[in-house]
């Protein structure tokens, strides 16, 4: 498994869209690797972050003349507190990865030596010829001098920074001198360690600048000699061990409801990189060291308040520059100071790590115990907290879920020095406290919730204290977590379900009314069709009837044994049901056509006529002289389809606002021939002729290479579809013309 997969670092490449600031620091100074800038602190006190940007560029730049291609990747290495850079450089016209010159660099702000900065360089040359690199350091505003320290030549740079209060902070940097050009023979490797010592002054008045600068230069020279004596590998081991000790405490995220592991790791790294570590300072006394350790082991009243795991401003998903990092540091410091964690802020990086772990889960120290006061309503999150300092022991606490999704607490203890007995009990302490041991399997506690809410877990070295707690809480009830959640969220109220049921009932009643009106109400459409023949007991309309004939056909019941009289011929029959005016048929033929007509219920036409009479005014509209039965109207139209696109998708066909339809359909209005002026512009044949000519002309002027240019004309039934209305649910496709599927509304 790679370092990134284990969560020990994050890699950035030029293709990475969201890059985090690549910085290294130790609280005294901070180096922005991307911009090659040095940030310093104006105070050595814990909680003072490097807030002042200088003009000094601490990174040695390596450039290879004649480079053809270059690829680069960088990694923020949490566990080692460093930034790694790897470059692959190809020369000339070479395209093979075998000829790739690999330049690896590691940037380190030493954790236990607060004034030391390291840049480790390793170059591998697999080619068959020598290569050279130009070496440069650019700090134009800093004054530089050459100094010899023992047998090494160093560059001494000095400059100043102006604070917001117009005070001056002096900066002196000593760096190991390098040649301006590095040559690497063929098939060989080159390594170099650039060591720098950075010292800054407190804000100084103008009259004391020279004196302060002289003292700083002497301090830098002295420390530079001390740093150059040991092997660089020893310096790296010191640094890495210091970072490992910091990460004894930490968090493990196993749930998407909490901040991502990358977000947590980035936040921890940035806070630690901008915090001093007085516990690692060799200049403090033994008494001060023990006092700082005691504050870690028992941080009284820290952390008071709710858990911060869902505070997005404290665990930001992304930071883009150093200024945002410094704002985040200030916010964490302010939060700790207001939540009873001042002693942890004074302990520096170790205290900040402890405070962030406590705040994440809602752990709080009191006078006699450590309590876990997470909100029981958010225990669907799964996470673990490790390395919680308590009485020189390290406690691991995890919030987990069983196979049924019920949360429970898991605890384990890692003794550090002299074993000390620890005891724990769940909310309410109704059960006897359990002694915590260093067994690998740990201890499990059920999540109990009291009313009113009290902490979910108590940990103490005093057994009697925990036994007495049950008598001092005065709670009304102690419930299992699932019972608490069921009571907290009993479901939707009765009124809601009654409203839903009422709406469903009303909807079905309305639907039934629509269907009834559609098929059974006044003016309803017929449900069945029937063929009409001459020799059956039904109505026949002969197409030889003269269009000007005023005669009427008489409709008799189907069970009548007599015949039907046409055009005034009298026959004996039962009482007629209704009279129908003959449908005038144009284009007569020799044989009678079989036509489709609707068979209406008794009284349907009379009811329709009566409805018309109620709204028609004889004085204005005239008398109702006759009634026609409208049969099926065969429609004609033109459908223009472009390209060879497939049928429109389901979503486009059912979307009334969709414009992605590959065809357009044109038809004449039924009343187009009523007016000669309108008729001249509504003739489909004229439109068709002009459209074909226009398309042929366009193809001739703008031919499409590799495609057949022309117009394909097909004569076939045009199908139209209806997508709204009750009838469209039964059948939504019919020929152009009269459509049974059309309702009162549709598209």
Question: Is 272 in the same domain as 352?
Answer: yes
pLDDT at 601: 59
Q: Which two tokens stand for residue 616?
A: 């028609």
Is it the case that residue 36 has pLDDT exceeding 90? Answer: yes
Cα separation of 260 and 151, whole Å? 50
742 is a domain residue: no
Q: Which of 238-247, 398-407, 516-525, 580-589 has the lowest mean pLDDT?
A: 580-589
Question: Is 612 in the same domain as 533?
Answer: yes
Is it the case that residue 574 has pLDDT exceeding 50? Answer: no
pTM, two decimal places: 0.66
Task: Considering only residues 539 and 213, tell me which one the structure prediction assigns the higher pLDDT.
Answer: 213
Question: Is 485 in the same domain as 497?
Answer: no
Task: Considering only residues 257 and 392, tell me which one the structure prediction assigns the higher pLDDT.
Answer: 392
Range with top average pLDDT, 12-21, 397-406, 590-599, 636-645: 397-406
Is it the case that residue 336 has pLDDT exceeding 90? Answer: yes
Cα separation of 27 and 21, whole Å? 16
* Domain count across the chain: 6
Question: Is 512 in the same domain as 655?
Answer: no
pLDDT at 509: 87
Question: Is 414 in the same domain as 383?
Answer: yes
512 is a domain residue: yes
Task: Considering only residues 466 and 731, tell me which one the structure prediction assigns the higher pLDDT.
Answer: 466
- β 457-460/250-253 pair status: unpaired
Q: Among the three residues 365, 395, 412, which one is the final residue of a domain in this structure?
A: 365
State mean pLDDT over 509-529: 66
Q: Give the end-to-end CA distance of the chain in Å, rounded to a whole number.
A: 60
Question: Is 419 in the same domain as 533?
Answer: no
Measured from the Cβ of residue 235, the count of other Cβ atoms closer than 10 Å reads: 20
Question: Is 286 in the same domain as 323?
Answer: yes
pLDDT at 161: 92
Q: How confident is the model at residue 589 (pLDDT cuts 50, 70, 90)?
A: very low
Question: Is the C-alpha dihedral spanning 563, 565, 569, 572 positive or negative?
Answer: positive
Is it the case that residue 351 has pLDDT exceeding 90? Answer: yes
- DSSP characters for 381-423? --EEEEEEEETTEEEEEEEEE-TTS-EEEEEEEE--SS---EE
Cα separation of 495 and 512, whole Å? 26
State mean pLDDT over 692-701: 85
Q: How confident is the model at residue 134 (pLDDT cuts 50, 70, 90)?
A: very high
Question: Is 220 in the same domain as 312?
Answer: no
464 is a domain residue: yes
Cα separation of 539 and 592, whole Å? 13
747 is a domain residue: no
Tell me if 433 sits within 8 A of 396, measured CB to CB: no
601 is a domain residue: yes
507 is a domain residue: yes
Is it the case that residue 48 has pLDDT exceeding 60? Answer: yes
Average pLDDT over all residues of the chain: 80
- DSSP characters for 578-647? EEEPPPP-SS--SSPPP-EEE-PPTTHHHHHHHHHHHH--HHHH------------B--EEEEE-TT--P
State mean pLDDT over 481-487: 66
pLDDT at 123: 96
Which residues partner with 251 through β-bridges? Answer: 385
Tell me if 577 sits within 8 A of 602, measured CB to CB: yes
Q: How confident is the model at residue 518 (pLDDT cuts 50, 70, 90)?
A: low
Tell me the per-residue pLDDT of 211-262, one tens digit each, with 9 for 90 and over.
999 999 999 999 999 998 888 999 999 999 999 889 888 878 776 667 888 8
State mean pLDDT over 78-100: 85
pLDDT at 634: 62
Question: Is 209 in the same domain as 63?
Answer: yes
Is it the case that residue 492 has pLDDT exceeding 80? Answer: no
Task: Considering only residues 568 and 154, tell me which one the structure prediction assigns the higher pLDDT.
Answer: 154
pLDDT at 485: 65
pLDDT at 560: 45
Question: Is 478 in the same domain as 502?
Answer: no
Q: Which of 40-44, 107-111, 132-136, 318-322 has the lowest mean pLDDT?
A: 40-44
Tell me the per-residue pLDDT of 447-472, one tens digit each, with 9 for 90 and over.
888 888 889 999 999 999 999 998 89
533 is a domain residue: yes
Tell me the per-residue pLDDT of 645-668, one tens digit each, with 9 for 90 and over.
677 777 777 777 887 788 888 888
Is it the case that residue 371 has pLDDT exceeding 50? Answer: yes
pLDDT at 68: 77
Q: How confident is the model at residue 539 (pLDDT cuts 50, 70, 90)?
A: very low
Question: Is 21 in the same domain as 157?
Answer: yes
Is it the case that residue 544 has pLDDT exceeding 50? Answer: no
State mean pLDDT over 375-401: 87
Task: Considering only residues 332 and 611, tell me which one the structure prediction assigns the higher pLDDT.
Answer: 332
Task: Considering only residues 24 and 649, tell me which one the structure prediction assigns the higher pLDDT.
Answer: 24
pLDDT at 631: 54
Rg (CA), the chain: 45
Question: Is 63 in the same domain as 127?
Answer: yes
Task: Considering only residues 598 and 62, tell me which one the structure prediction assigns the higher pLDDT.
Answer: 62
pLDDT at 726: 62
Q: How confident is the model at residue 559 (pLDDT cuts 50, 70, 90)?
A: very low
Q: Which residues contact 504 (CB under 8 A, 6 or more apart)?
A: none
Tell me the per-residue pLDDT of 161-184, one tens digit each, with 9 for 90 and over.
988 888 899 999 999 999 999 999
Q: Among the three residues 244, 261, 296, which one is the final residue of a domain in this structure?
A: 244
Q: How confident is the model at residue 729 (pLDDT cuts 50, 70, 90)?
A: low
pLDDT at 561: 45
For 416, the domain range is 374-489
Q: Which two tokens stand for residue 685?
A: 């044949």
Is it the case that residue 575 has pLDDT exceeding 90? Answer: no
State mean pLDDT over 309-313: 91
| Cα 114 to Cα 434, 482, 539, 603, distances in angstroms | 44, 51, 110, 104
744 is a domain residue: no
- β 181-184/131-136 pair status: antiparallel
């Amino acid at each position: 498994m790679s370092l990134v997969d284990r969560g020990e670092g994050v890699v950035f490449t030029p293709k990475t869209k969201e890059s985090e600031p690549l910085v290294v620091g130790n609280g005294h100074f901070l180096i922005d690797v991307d911009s090659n800038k040095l940030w310093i602190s104006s105070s050595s006190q814990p909680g003072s972050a490097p807030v002042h940007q200088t003009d000094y560029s601490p990174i040695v730049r390596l450039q290879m003349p004649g480079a053809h291609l270059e690829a680069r990747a960088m990694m923020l290495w949490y566990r080692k507190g460093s930034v790694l850079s790897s470059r692959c450089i190809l020369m000339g016209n070479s395209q093979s990865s075998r000829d790739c010159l690999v330049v690896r660099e590691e940037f380190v702000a030493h954790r236990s030596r607060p004034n030391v900065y390291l840049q480790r360089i390793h170059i591998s040359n697999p080619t068959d010829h020598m290569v050279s690199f130009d070496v440069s350091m650019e700090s134009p505003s800093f004054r530089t001098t050459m100094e010899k320290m023992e047998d090494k030549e160093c560059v001494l740079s000095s400059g100043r920074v102006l604070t917001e209060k117009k005070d001056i902070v002096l900066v002196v940097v000593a760096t190991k001198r390098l040649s301006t050009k590095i040559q690497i023979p063929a098939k060989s490797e080159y390594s170099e360690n650039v060591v720098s010592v950075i010292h800054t002054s407190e804000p100084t008045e103008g009259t004391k600048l020279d004196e302060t600068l002289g003292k700083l230069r002497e301090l830098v020279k002295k420390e530079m000699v001390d740093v150059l004596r040991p092997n660089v590998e020893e310096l790296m081991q010191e640094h890495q061990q210091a970072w490992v000790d910091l990460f004894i405490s930490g968090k493990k995220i196993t749930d998407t409801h909490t901040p991502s592991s990358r977000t947590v790791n980035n936040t921890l790294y940035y806070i630690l990189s901008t915090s001093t570590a007085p516990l690692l300072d060799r200049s403090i006394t033994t008494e001060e060291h023990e006092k700082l350790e005691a504050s870690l082991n028992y941080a009284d009243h820290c952390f008071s308040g709710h858990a911060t795991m869902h505070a997005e401003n404290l665990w930001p998903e992304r930071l883009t520059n150093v200024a945002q990092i410094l704002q985040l540091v200030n916010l964490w410091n302010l939060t700790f100071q207001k939540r009873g964690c001042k002693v942890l802020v004074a302990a520096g990086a170790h205290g900040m790590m402890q405070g962030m772990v406590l705040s994440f889960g809602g752990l709080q120290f009191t006078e006699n115990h450590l309590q876990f006061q997470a909100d029981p309503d958010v225990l669907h999150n799964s996470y673990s907290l490790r390395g919680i300092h308590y009485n020189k022991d390290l406690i691991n606490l995890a919030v987990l879920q069983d196979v049924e999704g019920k949360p429970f607490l898991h605890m384990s203890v890692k003794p550090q020095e002299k074993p000390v007995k620890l005891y724990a009990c769940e909310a309410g302490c109704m059960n006897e406290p359990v002694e915590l041991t260093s067994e690998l399997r740990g201890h499990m506690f059920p999540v109990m919730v009291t009313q009113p809410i009290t902490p979910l877990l108590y940990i103490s070295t005093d057994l009697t204290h925990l036994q007495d707690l049950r008598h001092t809480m005065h709670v009304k009830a102690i419930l299992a977590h699932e019972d608490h959640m069921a009571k907290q969220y009993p479901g939707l109220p009765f009124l809601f379900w009654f409203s839903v049921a009422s709406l469903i009932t009303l909807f079905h009643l309305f639907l039934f009314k629509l269907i009834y009106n559609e098929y059974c109400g006044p003016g309803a459409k017929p449900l069945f069709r029937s063929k009409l023949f001459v020799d059956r007991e039904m109505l026949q309309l002969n197409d030889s009837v003269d269009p000007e004939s005023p005669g009427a056909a008489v409709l008799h019941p189907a069970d009548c044994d007599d015949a039907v009289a046409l055009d005034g011929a009298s026959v004996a029959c039962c009482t007629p049901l209704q009279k129908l005016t003959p449908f005038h048929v144009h284009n007569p033929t020799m044989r009678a056509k079989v036509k489709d007509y609707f068979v209406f219920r008794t009284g349907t036409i009379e009811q329709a006529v009566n409805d018309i009479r109620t709204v028609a005014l004889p004085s204005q509209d005239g008398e109702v002289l006759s009634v026609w039965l409208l049969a099926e109207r065969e429609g004609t139209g033109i459908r223009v389809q472009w390209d060879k696109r497939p049928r429109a998708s389901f979503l486009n066909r059912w979307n009334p606002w969709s414009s992605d339809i590959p065809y357009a359909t044109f038809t004449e209005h039924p009343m187009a021939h009523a007016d000669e002026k309108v008729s001249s512009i509504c003739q489909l044949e004229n439109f068709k002729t002009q459209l074909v000519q226009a398309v042929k002309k366009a193809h001739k002027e703008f031919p499409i290479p590799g495609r057949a240019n022309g117009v394909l004309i097909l004569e076939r039934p045009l199908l139209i579809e209806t997508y709204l209305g009750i009838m469209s649910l039964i059948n939504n496709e019919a020929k152009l013309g009269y459509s049974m599927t059309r309702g009162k509304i549709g598209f």
